[in-house]
């Protein structure tokens, strides 16, 4: 029996995060954007340790009995993860120290760590006394006597002290909290040169003040450390009791969870590190060496000093006149389907869809699924206004959306207070669909308008994430969207099966398998057979086996995957007919699109679902057909541009080397820029996608 090639999801994820790091070291990326990618890499890694690595550690602690039914050995995977991360962190430090810092100096920005001028030292001392001293909270560490609690993700200076008077006294250890949650991380220092900006990290201001904090001691050394804690919400029995109360209780414990890693300056002396390990009960698997500073996600806030030339050129979202300038969006959608592609298109059409629904006297009902939403949201305001205007408004809120649980609970309470009917998470499942529906009654006739998206109703991320959004009044789709909302509200199974929309927990897996199998049969019969997939993650083993089977049958398979890809393309006897690329660029690639050749009678879908176990088996997901021929052409053109990318596309292969895709053409194709101009040309020619 052949072993099916399969890359563990977490090892594949680390390969994805390395693609982010590649952007930080690419000299063709504007300098401040490279800093942004360092921030993204760091932020991604923090969440990875708090969730995925914490899970592996828990499996290792649970012992062999718990592990016996697993398809992998947690300890081996954990060791590989730590080895890969350590190498990536070394490269991170090298990129920052040897590339980015010198390049910043070239443009007149210096991040200074030592050799401060007397004026700068005076400024730092005064800044510490005036702004930082109340928040620093020095703690003397006494082995086996004082074991202070370290706040999750806070930075501390671990300081080694020596008594100035008692020369024979042993070294002492202490901690200083860096109050980066209270004050800016980057502080500008006085400079004698007008064309030169000097930045100091908050860490180094505290470091410089250590002798003020510990009078009578010599400072032998100071080293930055950070503790990350397990962030998973362990809700034991979601089938009984008050789920909202359980989530709230778990949230209150998230920041006091079990330590998942100790991040430390790799220059810290071994005896000091061992002391800290004992003081905080840290295992060797919890150690993560980094450079001089941590919480590098703070680079998101690095000052730009108005130097726009150090950032990506502006790609302002493009207005979509057929809807944005329409007196009634609903009339335009009644005429034909419309497809927008964010953030290239403005999100204004989506916002106006809800605002017009609130104002339209013929609208009677609005229903929406909320997974993640902006802190300040015109869409949510429109829903609350709609209630005041006499509409019946229903919101299904998924309160188990990781790291958005608290925000979703707050929005749920606010909507309820405004009179919106709110339904919360389903027991044992996450609802991950992205859709809304509006009902109008005109001349006693019911009219329905649905908005289907691959992304959330989030006005902020709509400027950063690429997503397709489709407006439709097609009764084949709206009728089944109504059916799904009825199920979410009543928990009663639909009397009639879903025929057009594929819905998780109902027909989604079965229909996906049938679509792949049909391509296999067509290939064997010598008919047209091809599968094109665009998704965030591909991890489900059953689906991967089916794709291998399709490849062996002669089905040509092309995949664009942003993150996890457990499938191994290009292997003899498995995946010779599978080509896979990943695109990492200024926007985060987020859509899911599935296209099946079907012997020339093409079937195309947009979706909220990745091909992961969690999406296909433990969520309410939706895969929605695209019936309009013009919309199909539009999506296929977008994918064709992405497959031609030879600038930001990486080849996914068994080596996970993330080599950049190349071709024989001399023309450089950067797909995200090409797509922007393609859409702009279409708009200028009034070639609306509908």
Kind plus residue range of the DSSP H or E element containing 114: none
Helix (H) or strand (E) holding 140: strand 139-141
**Three-class HEC string of 314-341:** CCCCECCHHHHCCCCHHHHHHHCCEEEE
Check if the beta carbon of residue 573 is closer than 8 Å to that of residue 664: no
Contact by Cβ (8 Å): 69, 27: no
Q: Which of 221, 97, 103 is nearest to 158 (CA)?
A: 221
> Active-site residue 590, yes or no?
no
Closest CA to 342 of 587, 76, 55: 587
User: 3-class DSSP state for residue 613?
Assistant: helix
Give the sign of the dihedral formed by CA 276, CA 265, CA 211, CA 176. Answer: negative
Task: Centre a 10 Å sphere on the Cβ of residue 244 and count the other Cβ atoms it contains.
Answer: 16
CB 615 within 8 A of CB 509: no
Helix (H) or strand (E) holding 237: none
Query: CA-CA distance, 329 to 359, in Å (whole number)?
Result: 12
Bridge partners, 423 (sequence order): 396
Quick check: helix, strand or coil at residue 521?
Answer: helix
Structure tokens at 392: 């019946």
Query: CB–CB of 622/606 below 8 Å?
Result: no
Pick the catalytic residue from 56, 294, 365, 432. 432
Cβ contact 683:318 at 8 Å: yes
| Residue 463 neighbours by CB under 8 Å, 6+ apart | 317, 342, 343, 347
HSE of 214, CA atoms in CB hemisphere, 13 A: 27
Q: Which residues are the active-site residues?
A: 432
């Amino acid at each position: 029996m052949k072993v099916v090639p399969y890359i563990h999801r977490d090892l594949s994820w680390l390969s994805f995060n390395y693609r982010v790091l590649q952007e930080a070291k690419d000299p063709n990326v504007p300098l401040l954007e490279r800093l942004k990618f360092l921030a993204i890499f760091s932020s991604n890694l923090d969440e990875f340790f708090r969730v995925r690595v914490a899970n592996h550690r828990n499996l290792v602690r649970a012992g062999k009995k718990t592990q016996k039914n697993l398809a992998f050995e947690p300890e081996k995977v954990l060791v590989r993860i730590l080895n890969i991360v350590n190498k990536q962190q070394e490269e991170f430090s090298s990129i920052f120290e040897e590339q980015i810092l010198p390049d910043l100096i070239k443009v007149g920005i210096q991040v200074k760590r030592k050799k401060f001028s007397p004026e700068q030292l005076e400024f730092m001392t005064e800044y510490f006394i005036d702004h930082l001293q109340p928040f620093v909270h020095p703690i003397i560490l006494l082995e086996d006597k004082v074991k202070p609690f370290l706040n999750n993700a806070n930075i501390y200076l671990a300081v080694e002290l020596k008594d100035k008077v008692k020369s024979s006294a042993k070294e002492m250890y202490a901690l200083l909290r860096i109050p980066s949650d209270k004050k800016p991380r980057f502080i500008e220092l006085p400079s004698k040169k007008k064309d030169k900006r000097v930045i100091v990290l908050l860490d180094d201001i505290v470091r410089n003040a250590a002798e003020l904090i510990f009078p009578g001691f010599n400072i032998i050394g100071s080293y930055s450390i950070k503790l990350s804690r397990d962030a998973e919400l362990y809700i034991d029995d979601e089938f009984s009791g008050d789920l909202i109360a359980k989530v709230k209780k778990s949230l209150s414990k998230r920041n006091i969870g079990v330590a998942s890693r100790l991040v430390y300056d790799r220059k810290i002396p071994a005896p000091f590190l061992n002391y800290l390990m004992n003081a905080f009960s840290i295992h060797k698997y919890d150690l993560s060496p980094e450079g001089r500073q941590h919480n590098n996600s703070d680079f998101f806030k690095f000052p730009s000093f108005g130097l726009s030339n150090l950032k990506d050129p502006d790609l302002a979202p493009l207005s979509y006149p057929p809807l944005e300038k329409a007196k009634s969006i609903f009339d335009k959608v009644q005429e034909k389907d419309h497809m927008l592609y964010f953030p290239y298109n403005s999100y204004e059409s989506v916002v106006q869809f809800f605002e017009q629904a609130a104002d339209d006297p013929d609208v009677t009902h609005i229903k929406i699924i909320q997974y993640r939403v902006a802190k300040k949201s015109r869409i949510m305001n429109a829903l609350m206004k709609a209630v005041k205007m006499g509409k019946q408004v229903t919101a299904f809120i998924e309160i188990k959306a990781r790291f958005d649980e608290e925000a979703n609970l707050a929005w749920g309470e606010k909507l309820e207070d405004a009179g919106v009917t709110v339904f919360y998470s389903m027991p044992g499942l996450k609802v991950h669909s992205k859709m809304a529906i509006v009902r109008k009654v005109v001349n006693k006739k019911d009219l329905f308008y649905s908005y289907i998206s691959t992304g959330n109703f989030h006005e902020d991320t709509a400027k950063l994430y690429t997503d397709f959004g489709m407006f439709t009044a097609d009764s084949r789709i709206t009728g089944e969207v109504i059916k799904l909302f009825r199920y979410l509200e009543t928990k009663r199974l639909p009397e009639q099966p879903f025929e057009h929309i594929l819905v998780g927990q109902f027909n989604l897996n079965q229909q996906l398998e049938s679509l792949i199998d049909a391509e296999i049969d067509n290939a064997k019969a010598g008919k047209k057979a091809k599968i094109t997939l665009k998704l965030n993650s591909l991890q489900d083993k059953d689906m991967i086996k089916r794709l291998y089977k399709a490849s062996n049958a002669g089905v040509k398979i092309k995949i664009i995957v942003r993150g996890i890809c457990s499938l191994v393309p290009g292997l003899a006897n498995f995946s010779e007919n599978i080509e896979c690329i990943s695109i990492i660029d200024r926007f985060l690639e987020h859509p899911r699109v599935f296209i099946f050749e079907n012997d020339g009678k093409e079937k195309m879908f947009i979706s909220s679902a990745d091909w992961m176990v969690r999406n296909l088996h433990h969520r309410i997901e939706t895969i929605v057909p695209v019936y309009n021929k013009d919309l199909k052409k539009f999506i296929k053109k977008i994918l064709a541009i992405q497959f031609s990318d030879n600038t930001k596309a990486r080849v996914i292969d068994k080596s996970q080397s993330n080599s950049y895709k190349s071709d024989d053409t001399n023309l450089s194709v950067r797909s995200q820029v090409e797509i922007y101009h393609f859409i702009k040309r279409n708009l200028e020619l009034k070639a609306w996608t509908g």
